[in-house]
């Protein structure tokens, strides 16, 4: 269990074929949430990831795949 204050808001993201899917907003341990560059690498490698919900991180990942994320 994470210690109080060690969680960050994050989007859970995965690729469904070539479609980028964003599943809700979650609070996860800080070490689980990735920045946009690492999230892009992980998604391209076929992994799912938690993208830190900060600034334009989500827009950067969406732009990298030139797709609209699902709500």
**From its phi and psi, is residue 11 left (phi > 0), alpha (psi between -120 and 50) or beta?**
beta
Strand, helix or coil for residue 9: strand
pLDDT in tens, 1-22: 445 568 899 999 999 988 899 9
Average pLDDT score, the chain: 87
Tell me how long the chain is.
Answer: 71
pTM: 0.81
Give the pLDDT of residue 38. Answer: 96
pLDDT in tens, 51-62: 999 999 999 999
């Amino acid at each position: 269990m994470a210690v109080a204050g060690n969680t960050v808001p994050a989007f859970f993201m995965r690729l469904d074929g070539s479609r980028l899917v964003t599943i809700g907003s979650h609070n996860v341990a800080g070490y689980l949430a990735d920045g946009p560059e690492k999230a892009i690498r992980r998604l391209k490698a076929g992994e799912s990831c938690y993208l830190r919900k900060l600034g334009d991180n989500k827009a950067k990942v969406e732009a990298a795949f030139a797709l609209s994320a699902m709500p």
